[in-house]
Amino acid sequence: MPKNMADRLLEAVDEKENPSVVGLDPRIPRIPNHIKREAKENAFSPFEAVKLAIIEFNKGIIDAVKDIVPAVKPQMAFYERYGSQGAVAMEKTIKYARRQGLFVIEDIKRNDIGSTAEAYAEAHLGEVECLEGKKRAFDADFITVNAYLGSDGIEPFLNVCKKENKGIFVLDKTSNPSSGELQDRKIEGNGKVYELMAELTDKWGEELVGERGYSSVGAVVGATYPEEAEKLRKMMLRNLFLVPGYGAQGGTADDVIPCFNEDGYGAIVNSSRGIDYAYEKEEYQEYGPEAYEKASKRAALDMKEDILKSLEKGGKVPDGW
């Protein structure tokens, strides 16, 4: 049996001794001016200028963090915002990051049923049939999915994961203030909605468990809900958690520790704005917008240290680190 996607990601986590990942959320107003100036000069249209600016900005960050983090997490909304040119920027970002040896978790929260979900799965994780032969479109390593539609909205993603040896993270307990409106509701004769989702996620992943005991089917569990995370960690021993909400959303390093298993694995903590726009922060001001990528590198190192300290405090540093 080959290593599954969780094994491969955890190998990279071990290599970098770092379970934190960098979100790539390009926001045009916050991209440094020197990049936008050059993009404008080289573009034929407003959307093309945006595309060039995003690609350039992301390359700077990817180069700066590639030796620090195991993966990057581009958030599709910030690319799709600019239509098809934004989609080009996503394709190029994924390709560039993978070439630099990073895993790519494409945060797309897609969901649909049957052959429609299959189309999304092929687009983002697999191959698609063109007029002559097959091609790869976005080709990420992992994507996020939303399971409101139940199993037949997820199976097409599982099929592609099996075939292509890729992975998904299912939205379970999200990091936002109103996530409880539905997710915290108690189901009769059962746990809460997020607990039902945890059971389903565990079941969906059971045929995709790798050498290290983790499935290629993980769960999204927000850093902002440590109590729920602790409960979920015990229910989902073989599912990796993708943990948003650290940093800009208010989650601290201590808050994310319940997402880890006792052996120090099991969670991947994301920070986006805090790393991408570190140059705007007082503590990294010395770099200035022209050297934004150096500020991002510093912030990525600080995040790593911050999480490692809390892992240490919690007695959850992996053996051998």
Sites for a second copy among residues 202-241 (CB under 8 A): none
Q: Does 250 bind a second copy (CB under 8 A)?
A: no
SS3 308: helix
Residue whose CB is less far from a second copy, 17 or 146? 146
Contact yes or no for 86/52 (Cβ under 8 A)? no
- Rule CB under 8 A: is residue 117 a binding residue for a second copy? yes
Q: What are the φ and ψ backbone dihedral angles of 299, each rounded to 5 degrees?
A: -65, -35
> x/- binding map, residues 258-297, to a second copy, per CB under 8 A?
----------------------------------------
- Name the one range near a second copy by CB under 8 A: 2-10, 25-33, 211-219, 274-282: 25-33
Examine residue 315 and tell whether it contacts a second copy (CB under 8 A): no
Residue 304 in contact with a second copy, rule: CB under 8 A: no
44 binds a second copy (CB under 8 A): no
Per the structure block, which two tokens stand in for 100? 């630099």
**CB distance 165 to 139 below 8 Å:** no
List of residues 6+ apart from 204 with CB closer than 8 A: 151, 154, 155, 158, 170, 217
Near a second copy by CB under 8 A: residue from 3, 30, 40, 95 = 40
- Is 135 a residue of the active site? no
Distance CA 191, CA 261 (A): 22
**What string marks each residue from 159 to 198 as x (binds a second copy by CB under 8 A) or -?**
------------x--xxxxxxxxxx-xxxx-x--x--xx-
Integer-rounded Cα Rg, in Å, for the chain is 19
Whichever of 1 and 131 has its CB closer to a second copy, that residue is 131
Site string for a second copy, 45-74 (x = CB under 8 A): -xx-xx--x---------------------
Q: Which is nearer to a second copy, 191 or 314 (CB)?
A: 191
CB closer to a second copy, 55 vs 68: 55
- Other C-beta atoms closer than 10 Å to the C-beta of 84 total 10
On whether the CB atoms of residues 121 and 159 are closer than 8 A, the answer is: yes
- Verify binding: residue 128, a second copy, rule CB under 8 A: yes
Integer CA distances (angstroms), 152 to 30, 110, 124, 249, in order: 40, 13, 18, 32
Under the binding rule (CB under 8 A), the answer on residue 75 touching a second copy is yes
Q: What is the DSSP letter of 192?
A: B
Closest CA to 212 of 230, 242, 233, 239: 239
> Which residues carry out catalysis?
109
